[in-house]
Copies of this chain bind each other. A is one copy, B any other.
Amino acid sequence: MASHRPHVVIVGGGFAGLYAAKALSRAPVRVTLIDRRNHHLFQPLLYQVATAGLSAIDIGAPIRQILRRARNTTVLMAHVLGVDMASRRISLSTGRSIDYDYLIIATGASHSYFGHGDWQRVAPGLKTIEDALEIRRRILVAFERAEMEEDAIARQAWLTFVVIGAGPTGAELAGAVAELARHTLVREFRRFDPSQAHILLLEGGKRVLPSYPPDLSKRARRQLERLGVEVQTEALVTDIDSAGVGVDQRRIAARTVLWAAGVEASPLGSSLGVPLDRVGRVKVQADLTVPGHPEVFVVGDLAYLEQDGQPIPGIAPAAIQQGRHAVRNIRRHLSGKPLETFRYRDRGSMATLGRSAAVAEIGRLHLSGLPAWLSWLCIHIFFLIGYRNRLVVLFEWAKSYLTFQRSARLILDESADPGEPETSWCE
C-alpha cells in the first residue's frame, strides 16, 4: 500500500459512506473510513427492532467486517469534531487529526424536536439501534405495567401509544405496535386483553405518508385503520410529558409517546462554513461537492440538492447513488477530467404497515396491500447486508407471519425505567 497514493477520508458508515468505500476498494487510493459506531445499520428495518420483530444484530454488521477484504481501507471508530477545508484536515475527539486529499462527508441526520428539546426524554425518536432498543423497552414495559395496575383508568394510559408524525417511520411504527398488541401478546396477560391497546397516529399535515401520491396516502390510511390504528391528521401537538400528549385543546393520557416528526442534519455540516438549508443540510453543487472545494463531497441525508425542482429524498437508494457518484467524480478528478453532475434515478419507494399491508410507488405503478407488501419483502431481503442477516431475517419473518410470535421481546436495562425505585432486586 504505497503511501504516496492519494488519501480519501470518508466520514460516516451509513449507506452513502459504506457504498463509497466499497466503490473505492480497488481504486489507486488509500481510504480511511471513520464512524462513531462500529456498525453499519440497515435503517429501513429499524422500526422492526423497535417493535420486537427483529434483533439488533439482524440489521447491523461491523463496518470493518464488511470491508475486511478492502486492503487499501482502514476503518476507525472515532468522533469527528470538525473539518478544516483550508488545510485539508479533520480533527478527532482523541486530539488526533487526519489529513486528506479527498473528503466524503456522509454523517446523515438525526431527529429534530423543532425547538422542544425537552420532548426528547418523553418521546424518543428512531435513528440508531440504541433508539430502537429504548423504544422496544418502553413498549414492552408499558404492557408489564398495565398487568400490575389495578386501576382501570391508569391501566388504559399504559395501554395507549401515541406516534407523532405519519411519514414512513411513524406509519410503520404505528402499524407494528398495533400488530404486536393485537396478535403477538394476546393470551399472555391475565388482567386485560392486549387488543384494548389504543394506538394513535398523529400527523400535522393533511395526510399520512405525505411524500407519496395522494391515492397511496388514502390507501395507507385505510390499511392502518384496519390494523387498529386511529389516525388523526392536521393534529397540532402542543405539549408532551410522561403522562400524555396535548393535541388540539385535547389531552390524551398515554404513557408511551414516540416521535417520528422531524429531521435535523448532523452538526458536522455546520462546521464547514458553507450554506445550509433550514434543517442544517449542506447545499451541495450538482456534482455533490461543496462550493470552491472540488475535493470535498457531501452525500446522503446530510446533502441538500434539488433535481427538476424537487429535493432529492433522504432515503437509502439516493444515499447509495450519491456515495458511488462521489467516487466516480474522485476518479475523474484524479485523471484530470471534469466532474459530472449527479442524476438521481428514482426506482420507487415503499412503506410497510403490517401483515400484508403496505404501499409502493414504482414509477407510474401504485401498489397497495399484499402486492406492495411482497415487493417490499423481496427488496428488503435482497438489500440486507450479509448472508446471516438475510437468512435470519427471512426466518424471523416467516415464523412471525405463521405464528404471530416475535422473538426479540427482552426488556433490557430495566434499571433505566424512571418510575421504579432501585432499592431491591430479584432475578
A binding-site residues for B, Cβ under 8 Å: 11-14, 34-39, 55-57, 60-62, 64-65, 68, 74-82, 93-94, 96, 107-108, 110, 127-130, 133, 140-141, 144, 147-148, 150, 187-191, 266-268, 388, 391-392, 395-396, 399, 405, 407-415, 420-421, 423-427
Contact = CB atoms under 8 A, between A and B. Distances in A.
A11 B426 contact: yes
Contacts of A408: 57
A76 B425 contact: no
Contacts of A414: 36-38, 77
A67 to B, nearest CB: 8
Given A13-B427, A82-B424, 20 more contacts: A11-B426, A12-B426, A12-B427, A36-B426, A37-B414, A37-B427, A38-B140, A55-B57, A57-B409, A75-B188, A76-B148, A77-B141, A79-B421, A80-B426, A93-B424, A127-B427, A128-B427, A266-B425, A267-B424, A388-B405
A13 to B, nearest CB: 8
A61 B37 CA distance: 28
Number of copies of this chain in the oligomer?
2
Most buried by B among A188, A189, A391: A188
A60 B424 contact: no
A64 B189 contact: yes
B74 A190 contact: yes
What 9 A-B pairs are tightest by C-beta distance, nearest first? A107-B426, A77-B144, A108-B427, A38-B411, A74-B190, A64-B188, A68-B188, A55-B57, A62-B409
